[in-house]
Amino acid sequence: MPISLVEQLYQERIDALTPAERVARAAAMFVWTREQIARQITAEQGPTDESLLKWLVALRLYGNDPQTRELIERKIEHVSG
């Protein structure tokens, strides 16, 4: 299947980035993702303390790993308790 013009232009621009620009782009996308998850949690649960919200976001990002989930849940108990 041939690639579209949009995909071709996107790939050309990505290929033109320096390694530092690629890292900066990835970091910016990660920040955007965390902010989006925080907005979703706030929409679902209402206003939440920032320190608790940070851990709730972490739980959504990393909660699939049982050991990590356990650590994050302990932090959540500490922050909310």
Number of structural domains (the chain) is: 1
Mean pLDDT of 34-45: 98
Token pair, residue 72, equals: 């994050």
Q: How far apart are CA 30 and CA 24, in angstroms?
A: 10
**Distances in Å between the alpha carbon of 49 and those of 22, 46, 53?**
33, 10, 6
Examine the pLDDT at 81 and tell me if it is beyond 80: no
- pLDDT above 70 coverage of the chain, percent: 99
pTM of the predicted model as reported, rounded to 2 decimal places:
0.81
Token pair, residue 60, equals: 């959504």
pLDDT given for residue 80 in this prediction? 84
Its domain, for residue 46, covers 5-80
Which residues make Cβ contacts (< 8 Å) with residue 75, sequence separation at least 6?
55, 58
